[in-house]
């Protein structure tokens, strides 16, 4: 019920001492009574608090009492006139300062009568809402059985309440709903959906975000129902869209089952093999660091497929997602940065490293995938939870990715074979030291700091690498050979 409903009961004779028209439309969730100086333990958000003012000894007491009510988020304060003959002015002033609506309860009206009236009204309203909700659920389920699409159901519910609504994925891609939202609004909505302690949650611009399904269990893999409204949405509106969200959750489960069947078909073909995505596809490789559980890797794959409409995805032997999609590489990079970037608030200590091939006409799928994988390796040094890199064909490493895998492995084995064999026999860590040395641009001190070893240890290990490979890492040509060999092992 609303605060206005209490004032509209003539038999109660309650008067409004402070509060504007907006205050009168505040929902009242429950009633409670307290005369303790600290009411915090006895009230909750949305309550109409009744007090006989027994706690008031001096004018200063009023400000403390009302301050605590404001912190608790109560809807209003109802003060009895019995003790003082009227509500003292300091109580009125405190409510004005803190923005708490204030009601005056006549001396002859006991609080129990008001609470009994409110309880009856609330029980009736709950029964009405329950019956209305059951009828709406039956209509929704009947519509689903008749083949009504999720987009039609969303539009029907939105028109019933005169508000626009959208179904969005965690990457901000639309599933159903009204006209497309501005990217900035989608960014704010997905950020709230992924980080809010509780859902539904309010977002600036008049939006409310509701969960579709579990809500907090798997935020990256979930859908979210967004409603835009003027002012605060009423309970019936939220109930209706909550019921729509339940139907949408069932639809999402069916879609996920179809997607898994598609994955099984795609996984029968090795990444970069015979996957047909049209001419000159752009390849995308996505690595999750750390790799995570199978469920988390599946969620990453779903997010990639969601962010790239029409993409075909599979998983390589290293557990990385490989996607092939028609389009321009710059557009693919921009889409991934925006859409996968929206997942960053939910990644915690996880990183998504994304490489996009520089795909030219006539380039093989194998070459495109190698190009994207090289971009992933280059992205490891970038900052941020989601790093998207486009492959560069104007570098030695970029050109090296165009070499077939078999030749690259043979090249790496020819140069680094003795080092790998030495590490296998002695566990000396020569390869790890070499990788760190190259990443640190040949700096002895930075390499030692990164590996947490003595400077002389680094010098000794690099000396052993030079002896085993026959390469002088002080010479640019030899260092390039070794660098490319290390990258070929990645």
Distance (Å, whole) CA 95 – CA 77:
8
DSSP string of 69-91?
HHHHT-SEEEEESTTTSS--HHH
332 and 422 in a single domain? The answer is no
What is the DSSP code (8-state) at residue 220?
T
Q: In this structure, is residue 124 part of a structural domain? A: no
Q: What is the pLDDT of residue 397?
A: 62
Q: What is the pLDDT of residues 187-242, one digit of tens each?
A: 999 999 999 988 889 999 999 999 998 656 678 889 999 999 877 677 778 888 88
Identify the domain boundary among 268, 284, 309.
268
202 and 274 in a single domain? The answer is no
Q: What is the pLDDT of residue 135?
A: 66
Judged against a pLDDT cut of 60, whether residue 159 lies above it is answered with: yes
Residues 6+ apart with CB under 8 A from 57: none
CA-based max dimension of the chain: 102
Q: Tokens representing 193?
A: 């959906």
Distance (Å, whole) CA 210 – CA 226:
6
| 65 vs 1 pLDDT, higher one | 65
Pairing of strands 76-80, 102-105: parallel
Q: What is the pLDDT of residue 128?
A: 64
97 and 186 in a single domain? The answer is no
365 and 431 in a single domain? The answer is no
Distance (Å, whole) CA 236 – CA 460:
74
Distance (Å, whole) CA 74 – CA 66:
10
Phi-psi region of 182 (alpha: psi -120 to 50; beta: other; left: phi over 0): beta
pLDDT, mean of residues 12-19 = 92
Q: What is the pLDDT of residues 77-134, one digit of tens each?
A: 999 999 999 999 999 999 999 999 999 999 999 999 988 888 887 776 666 666 666 6
Distance (Å, whole) CA 41 – CA 332:
54
Q: pLDDT grade, residue 404 (50/70/90)?
A: low
Residue 46: domain span: 3-118
Identify the domain boundary among 376, 400, 424.
400
Judged against a pLDDT cut of 80, whether residue 401 lies above it is answered with: no
Say which CATH number the domain at 213 has: 3.30.450.40
For the chain, state the CA radius of gyration. Answer: 32
310 and 260 in a single domain? The answer is no
Q: What is the pLDDT of residue 394?
A: 55
Judged against a pLDDT cut of 50, whether residue 361 lies above it is answered with: no
Q: Tokens representing 157?
A: 């519910």
37 and 93 in a single domain? The answer is yes
Nearest CA-CA partner of 248 in 306, 165, 183, 160: 165
Q: Which helix (H) or strand (E) holds 335?
A: helix 329-341
Distance (Å, whole) CA 4 – CA 151:
37
| Class of residue 188 by CB neighbours under 10 A (exposed 0-12, middle 13-18, buried 19+) | middle
Q: What is the pLDDT of residues 263-301, one digit of tens each?
A: 888 887 655 554 455 456 899 999 998 888 888 888 899
Task: Please state the domain count of the chain.
Answer: 4
DSSP string of 338-372?
HHHHTTGGG-TT-EEEEEE----TT--HHHHHHHH
pTM of the model: 0.61
């Amino acid at each position: 019920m609303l605060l206005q409903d209490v004032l509209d009961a003539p038999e109660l004779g309650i008067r409004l001492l402070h509060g504007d028209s907006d205050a009168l439309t505040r929902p009242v969730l429950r009633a409670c009574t307290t005369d303790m100086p600290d009411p915090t333990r006895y009230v909750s958000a949305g309550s109409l608090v009744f007090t006989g003012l027994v706690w008031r000894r001096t004018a200063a007491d009023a400000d403390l009492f009302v301050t605590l009510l404001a912190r608790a988020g109560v809807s209003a304060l109802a003060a009895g006139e019995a003790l003082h003959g009227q509500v003292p002015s300091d109580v009125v002033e405190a409510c004005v300062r803190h923005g708490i609506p204030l009601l005056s309860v006549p001396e002859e009206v006991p609080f129990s009568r008001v609470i009994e009236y409110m309880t009856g009204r609330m029980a009736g309203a709950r029964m009405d809402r329950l019956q209305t909700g059951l009828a709406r659920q039956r209509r929704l389920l009947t519509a689903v059985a008749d083949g009504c699409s999720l987009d039609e159901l969303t539009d029907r519910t939105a028109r019933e309440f005169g508000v626009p609504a959208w179904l969005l994925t965690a990457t901000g891609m639309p599933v159903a709903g009204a006209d497309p939202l501005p990217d900035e609004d989608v960014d704010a909505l997905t950020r709230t959906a992924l980080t809010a302690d509780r859902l539904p949650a309010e977002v600036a611009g008049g939006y409310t975000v509701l969960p579709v399904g579990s809500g907090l269990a798997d935020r990256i893999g979930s859908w979210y129902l967004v409603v835009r409204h003027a002012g605060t949405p009423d309970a019936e509106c939220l109930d209706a869209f909550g019921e729509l969200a339940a139907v949408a959750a069932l639809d999402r489960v069916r879609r996920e089952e179809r997607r898994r069947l598609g994955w099984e078909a795609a996984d029968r073909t090795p990444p970069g093999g015979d996957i047909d995505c049209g001419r000159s596809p752009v390849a995308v490789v996505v690595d999750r660091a750390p790799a995570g559980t199978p469920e988390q890797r599946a969620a990453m794959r779903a997010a990639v497929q969601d962010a790239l409409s029409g993409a075909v995805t599979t998983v390589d032997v290293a557990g990385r997602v490989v996607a092939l999609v028609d389009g321009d590489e710059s557009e693919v990079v921009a889409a991934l940065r925006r859409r996968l970037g929206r997942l960053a608030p939910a990644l915690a200590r996880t990183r998504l490293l994304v490489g996009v091939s520089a795909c030219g006409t006539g380039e093989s799928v194998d070459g495109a995938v190698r190009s994207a994988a090289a971009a992933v390796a280059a992205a490891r040094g970038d900052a941020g939870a989601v790093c998207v890199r486009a492959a560069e064909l104007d570098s030695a490493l970029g050109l090296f990715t165009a070499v077939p895998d078999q030749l690259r492995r043979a090249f790496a084995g020819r140069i680094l074979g003795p080092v790998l064999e030495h590490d296998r026999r002695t566990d000396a860590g020569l390869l790890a030291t070499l990788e760190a040395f190259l990443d640190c641009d040949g700096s002895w001190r930075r390499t030692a700091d990164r590996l947490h070893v003595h400077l002389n240890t680094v010098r000794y290990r690099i000396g052993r690498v030079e002896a085993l490979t026959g390469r002088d890492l002080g010479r640019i040509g030899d260092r390039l050979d070794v660098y490319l060999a290390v990258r070929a092992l990645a």
